[in-house]
Structure 1
Amino acid sequence: MKLIYLSQEAIDDIKMNFIKYKKHFADVNNDWFIEKFKKRDWMHESKVQCKDFILDMSDEYNVSDRKNVEIVYEALHDLSPALAADERLWAGMLFGQFWDYVKYRRKNEINFGNERDILNSFFFMRGTKRSCFMNCLSRLWWTGYLLYDEKKCEHYNAVDLICEAAYASNLILISSNNFISNKNLALGVFDCIQKRKNAGENIGRYHFVEANKYINCIGGISLLDAMAREEVCKLANRRLNQLYGVIDIGD
């Protein structure tokens, strides 16, 4: 299939004149939006093609999020980070092929009718970097991009870990780090947390908070990009040992 994108004019008009569109976000289908966009020539096929894919809409978000990270990243593996940071692409997909998904994943926010919550469901409202990890569709791709592990047979181990609980909030936490663009650093932190889990520790959000905070602090006095993944793992474990008790995670 060819991916759909929404013109910047359409995005700007909806953001500035939300009241005119508000009631139609509660529509069961996207017919009203599609008709309007086509009349104004606001919706177009992009040059990006991929295999057809269907997103999981299980009752439990932690189940569907995990499945959908893999589905989206496998289907759009060749998408460049520059395109994946384009609000127009994700907005077009959400108003187009994946209307049912955004209605499922952001059901409570959309039904509540709050302007900010609805706009956050479809658009980038918090700056490009942060919004890439907030938008309910784009964050699936960016999770795969950041945490897909080519060095392991189970490429999505880190995704399994982050999706066990509080996926959305943990992802926002990670996206705020200075080292977000470096996969080795991110995976080094996840290696540490996974090893502590394997050793029998109960993992909570505080593990992600403290490990990432510490690596960010290290980045203020050291050149993080020069660090190996294994070194980051050891540094994160040093901090977690100080806070939650010593666990030997090996080399």
Structure 2
Amino acid sequence: MKLYIMKREALETLKANLPVVYGKYYTEKTNQWISDICGEDPFIEFKDVTEFKLADLNSDLTPGEIDLNNCKILYEKLQFLSESQASDERLWAGLAHTTFYDYMRKRWGYGYGKKPKSAEKEAGAIQTRFFYRYTGRSGFYRNTLSKCWWVGHNTYDPNNNQNHFESLDIIGSNDLNSKINEFFYNFTFSSNPDVMAAIIEALRQFKEEGRHVLVRDHIRPAMSYLNAVGGSVVIDCLEREKITRIFADAVDAIMQGDVPTLNLEGNISAEEEDIDYSDDENTDAVDTSDVPEVTLGCKVVIRNIDKETKTYKYDMVNGMLPKAVEVFTGCKVGDVIEMRGKEWRIEDVIF
């Protein structure tokens, strides 16, 4: 099983043209179109590894369970990666567009029944899932494959021979992407394995007591409180048991409707970012304000006042867009265009 990285030039070309080519992710079952867009082979072979498969998308697993399983699989199988290599956007963009291209399309419904939204939303979602939309941790904790490796990396315990991923199991699959945001992205102190182990221990205690800890209601404010504590003491220097107690006491106070003793509002880290993961958890969510737009690879269905219907393929031919379909550029369902002296309404955009 060969792993490929994406050439820097190809990566930049694809990202820059996503508002135009996003439809290819819906229509193209193979990645040959990427070479056509870039004008050359966009990939470089990186490494040959023992073949493995990601979590089964045809099972009854929830999106959170799929991601949790992939955290274990990707880190175990690619454990040889250095942190520098695992931070490189070219690696994950390469894997998402080669070895796991069909998996990624199916995971997000591209070509598997999902209807595209606006060009802006589609380009943004694809950039986040297949590339890095932002730099640094925000990039690799949101990319579909990269985030799984990094979460696996930060929860793997080589000394726990019974279950190397016990910490990850305690975090659990429910609302997993929001937990990833709170535990691994928003706060730098959680990158310290001792601090993370202390937080996991508090979660274990709540789990054993049968108390349900919610991300937005309990974990987020407790993490903010712990970060505020870091404004007066160096959290990394505290004993693990002390950190566990601080975090658990904060959750307890919040559950009881109390406010932890420090003033949270003035101490929340500037890094903290409230990211909406609803689309990650619910791939069937529909925004009625979104209207399908014409993009490369789609078929455009038009109808005139006489109820004549025509269908055109909107795509490149020999590297150029045919003049006959240029009229559809920038249009969406419901728009009216003029063709051959008649007005035609765009009835549908098919992917």
Q: Deviation at 1:34?
A: 5.1
Aligned partners of 1:4 and 1:93 also within 8 Å: yes
**Aligned residue number for residue 45 of structure 2:** 45
Tell me: CA distance 1:20–1:240, structure 2 relative to 1, closer, same or farther (3 Å).
Answer: closer
What is the TM-score of this pair, normalised by structure 2? 0.64
Letter paired with 2:52: F
Aligned partners of 1:34 and 1:96 also within 8 Å: no
Looking at secondary structure, tell me which structure has more strand per residue.
2
Tell me: CA distance 1:28–1:244, structure 2 relative to 1, closer, same or farther (3 Å).
Answer: same
**2-structure distance, mates of 1:105, 1:45:** 24
1:215 partnered with 2:226? yes
Aligned with residue 77 of structure 1, among 60, 72, 79: 79
Aligned partners of 2:7 and 2:42 also within 8 Å: yes
Structure 1 unaligned runs (5+)?
A: 246-251
- Please state whether the residue corresponding to 1:77 is helix, strand or coil: coil
- Please state whether the residue corresponding to 1:155 is helix, strand or coil: coil
**Aligned residue number for residue 9 of structure 2:** 9
Aligned with residue 241 of structure 1, among 252, 268, 273: 252
**2-structure distance, mates of 1:30, 1:173:** 36
Aligned residue-pair number: 244
**Aligned residue number for residue 197 of structure 2:** 187
Give runs of aligned pairs for residues 92-171 of structure 1, distance below 5 A: 92-107=94-109, 111-112=116-117, 114-152=122-160, 153-171=162-180
Q: Deviation at 1:38?
A: 8.2
**2-structure distance, mates of 1:15, 1:3:** 21
Greater shift after overlay, 30-39 or 205-214? Answer: 30-39
Aligned partners of 2:202 and 2:245 also within 8 Å: yes
Greater shift after overlay, 211-220 or 94-103? Answer: 211-220
Aligned partners of 2:6 and 2:94 also within 8 Å: yes
CA RMSD of aligned residues (A): 2.2
Q: Deviation string for 1:201-243 (max 9, x for gaps)?
A: 1121133213321221122221222233332211111211222
Tell me: CA distance 1:241–1:20, structure 2 relative to 1, closer, same or farther (3 Å).
Answer: closer
Q: Deviation at 1:49?
A: 4.2
Q: Deviation string for 1:161-206 (max 9, x for gaps)?
A: 3333111121112211021321221221121012111112112113
Aligned partners of 1:103 and 1:110 also within 8 Å: no
- Please state whether the residue corresponding to 2:52 is helix, strand or coil: coil
Tell me: CA distance 1:139–1:110, structure 2 relative to 1, closer, same or farther (3 Å).
Answer: farther
Letter paired with 1:160: D
**2-structure distance, mates of 1:90, 1:61:** 20
**2-structure distance, mates of 1:229, 1:28:** 51
Tell me: CA distance 1:233–1:195, structure 2 relative to 1, closer, same or farther (3 Å).
Answer: same
**Aligned residue number for residue 23 of structure 2:** 23
Aligned partners of 1:189 and 1:211 also within 8 Å: no
- Please state whether the residue corresponding to 2:157 is helix, strand or coil: coil
**1-structure distance, mates of 2:243, 2:201:** 9
**2-structure distance, mates of 1:28, 1:208:** 41
Tell me: CA distance 1:157–1:192, structure 2 relative to 1, closer, same or farther (3 Å).
Answer: same
Tell me: CA distance 1:204–1:89, structure 2 relative to 1, closer, same or farther (3 Å).
Answer: same
Tell me: CA distance 1:10–1:63, structure 2 relative to 1, closer, same or farther (3 Å).
Answer: same
Letter paired with 2:86: A
Q: Deviation at 1:139?
A: 0.7
Aligned with residue 242 of structure 2, among 216, 228, 231: 231
**Aligned residue number for residue 249 of structure 1:** none
Which one has a bigger Cα radius of gyration?
2
Structure 2 unaligned runs (5+)?
A: 257-351
What is the TM-score of this pair, normalised by structure 1? 0.88
Tell me: CA distance 1:37–1:28, structure 2 relative to 1, closer, same or farther (3 Å).
Answer: closer
Greater shift after overlay, 199-208 or 77-86? Answer: 199-208
**2-structure distance, mates of 1:192, 1:239:** 11
Greater shift after overlay, 91-100 or 119-128? Answer: 119-128
Q: Deviation at 1:41?
A: 3.4
**2-structure distance, mates of 1:204, 1:158:** 17
**2-structure distance, mates of 1:229, 1:67:** 28
